[in-house]
């Protein structure tokens, strides 16, 4: 996966609160963070500890997005999501890290490579940066990220950490 990824605020905040940024850091060559995302995070507190953890194995680039792409602006997303998507559109080969459903739909429509917080955890486990995913998922849930319980069970079964009998038929 070692590519450039534009990060939105909620994955940074939630993965940071769950102390998982160091675990996902090696998944990217460069983590691109638009200024709008930085401002959103700093409105709630300092971003420096998050950036420090995220930069332990990868490069961090603070990016200025001078203008939101007109097709992205039409979606009426938040400033951070709009900047993340615009940055990815203007950076060939990059992807986005988004948890917001509407922003994810927009990324899919524009064929922008996409992953969310849960996907980063699964990928970190598959790449050997986490021994198990379930404790990390539980920490994300504990800090406020909602996942459909049945979806989590399906994912855990798929990666060898869940019981197939727990799946609803």
Domain that holds residue 151: 119-166
Q: Among 99, 116, 133, which residue terminates a domain?
A: 116
The pLDDT score that the predictor gives to residue 84 is 98
Q: Model confidence over 41-88: pLDDT tens digits? A: 999 989 999 999 999 999 999 999 999 999 999 999 999 999 999 999
| Number of C-beta neighbours around residue 59 at 10 A | 12
Q: How many CB atoms are closer than 10 A to CB 155?
A: 19
CATH number at residue 54: 3.40.50.1010
Range 112-133 average pLDDT: 96
Q: Are residues 44 and 56 in the same domain?
A: yes
Distance in angstroms (rounded) separating the CA atoms of residues 6 and 42: 17
Do residues 75 and 107 lie in contact, with contact meaning Cβ atoms separated by under 8 Å? Answer: no
The residues, ordered by sequence, that sit 6+ positions from 110 with a Cβ below 8 Å of its Cβ are 71, 72, 85, 89
Same domain, 130 and 157: yes
What average pLDDT is seen over the chain?
A: 94
Residue 167 pLDDT greater than 80, yes or no: no
pLDDT, tens digit (0-9, with 9 covering 90-100), for 18-36: 999 999 999 999 999 999 9
Question: Pick from 84, 99, 116: which residue ends a domain?
Answer: 116
**Are 140 and 78 within one domain?**
no
In the listed set 78, 98, 116, which residue is the last one of a domain according to the structure?
A: 116
Domain count, the chain: 2
The per-residue pLDDT for range 129-164, each reduced to its tens digit, is: 999 999 999 999 999 999 899 999 999 999 999 777
Among candidate residues 138, 110, 114, the one with its CA nearest the CA of residue 7: 114
């Amino acid at each position: 996966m070692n590519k450039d990824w534009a990060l939105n605020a909620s994955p940074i905040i939630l993965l940071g609160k769950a102390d998982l940024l160091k675990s996902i850091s090696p998944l990217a060559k460069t983590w691109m963070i638009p200024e709008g995302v930085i401002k959103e995070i700093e409105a709630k507190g300092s971003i420096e500890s998050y950036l420090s953890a995220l930069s332990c194995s990868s490069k961090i680039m603070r990016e200025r997005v001078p203008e939101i792409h007109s097709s992205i602006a039409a979606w009426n997303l938040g400033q951070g999501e709009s900047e993340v998507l615009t940055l990815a559109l203007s950076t060939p080969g990059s992807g986005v890290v988004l948890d917001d459903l509407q922003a994810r739909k927009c990324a899919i429509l524009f064929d922008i490579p996409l992953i969310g917080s849960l996907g980063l955890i699964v990928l970190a486990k598959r790449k050997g940066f986490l021994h198990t995913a379930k404790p990390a998922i539980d920490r994300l849930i504990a800090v406020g990220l909602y996942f459909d319980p049945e979806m989590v069970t399906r994912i855990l079964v798929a990666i060898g950490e869940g019981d197939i009998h727990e799946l609803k038929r």
